[in-house]
C-alpha cells in the first residue's frame, strides 16, 4: 500500500510539473504576442496587468528566451520522472531526430515574430511552430526516458527475459535426487543440475506450461 501511495504521489507531482510547464509557455505566448492578442480582443486587463508585473519581477518570465527555457526545464523534470512501458526495441536515432527537430523549432521560432509585417500572422505561425517543437520534445524525451529506464534497469535475464542464472553445481548426499537440465542464458545453452538434497521434506513444483 505504501508503494502504491508513493507511486500515486509521484504521478501527481509529475502532472503538476508538466501543467506548470505548459502554463509558463502559455503566459509567454500571451506576453510575447500581446499586440496580436489585443487586436483579436482576447486580452483581459487584470490578467495583463498581473502578468506584466510578474514578468518585470521574475526573471524566468521576462523576455523571450527565459520563459521558454523555464518551460523546457520543467518539461524535462516531468519526463525524467515518467516511466512508460518497457520496450527493448527502442532505437536512439529516432529519439535524436525528434529532440533535435523539436529544439530547433522551439528556439528558432523566435525569428518568426519579426519575419512578417503582419503581427497577427506572425503570432499564429510563431505559436504553431513553437507548439510543434514543444510536442516533438515531449515525444522524444518520453522515448529517451524509456530508453534510459531499459538501459539502467538491466537484470540478469537474457534478451527474451525467459531465463536467469541457475544452479550448475552437482550437490549430492546419501538421499539426494539430482536431475540434469539445460537452460538458456545470454543466448547460450548451459548445463545445470536440479538438486533435491532432502526429498523427505515437502516439495513444491511451480511453473507455467513449457517452463
Lowest mean pLDDT among 11-15, 92-96, 103-107, 157-161: 157-161
The number of residues in the chain equals 211
Could you tell me if 84 and 145 are in contact, meaning their C-beta atoms sit under 8 angstroms apart?
A: yes
Q: pTM value?
A: 0.67
The DSSP code sequence of 123-145 is: HHHHHHHHHHHHHHHHHHHHHHH
pLDDT of residue 86: 58
Determine what percent of the chain is predicted with pLDDT higher than 70.
85
Span 13-45, pLDDT tens digits:
888 999 999 999 998 888 888 888 888 888 888
pLDDT at 137 over 90: yes
Amino acid at each position: 500500500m505504501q508503494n502504491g501511495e508513493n507511486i500515486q504521489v509521484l504521478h501527481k507531482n509529475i502532472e503538476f510539473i508538466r501543467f506548470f510547464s505548459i502554463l509558463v509557455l502559455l503566459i509567454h505566448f500571451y506576453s510575447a504576442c500581446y499586440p496580436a492578442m489585443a487586436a483579436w480582443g482576447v486580452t483581459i486587463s487584470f490578467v495583463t496587468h498581473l502578468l506584466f508585473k510578474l514578468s518585470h519581477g521574475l526573471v524566468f518570465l521576462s523576455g523571450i528566451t527565459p520563459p521558454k527555457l523555464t518551460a523546457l526545464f520543467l518539461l524535462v523534470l516531468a519526463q525524467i520522472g515518467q516511466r512508460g512501458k518497457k520496450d527493448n526495441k527502442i532505437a536512439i536515432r529516432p529519439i535524436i531526430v525528434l529532440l533535435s527537430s523539436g529544439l530547433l523549432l522551439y528556439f528558432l521560432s523566435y525569428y518568426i515574430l519579426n519575419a512578417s509585417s503582419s503581427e497577427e500572422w506572425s503570432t499564429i505561425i510563431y505559436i504553431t511552430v513553437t507548439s510543434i517543437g514543444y510536442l516533438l520534445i515531449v515525444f522524444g524525451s518520453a522515448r529517451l526516458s524509456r530508453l534510459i529506464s531499459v538501459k539502467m534497469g538491466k537484470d540478469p535475464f537474457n534478451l527474451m527475459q525467459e531465463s536467469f542464472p541457475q544452479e550448475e553445481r552437482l550437490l549430492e548426499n546419501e538421499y539426494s535426487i539430482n536431475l540434469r537440465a539445460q537452460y538458456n542464458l545470454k543466448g547460450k545453452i548451459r548445463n545445470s543440475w536440479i538438486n533435491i538434497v532432502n526429498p523427505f521434506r515437502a516439495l513444491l513444483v511451480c511453473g507455467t506450461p513449457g517452463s
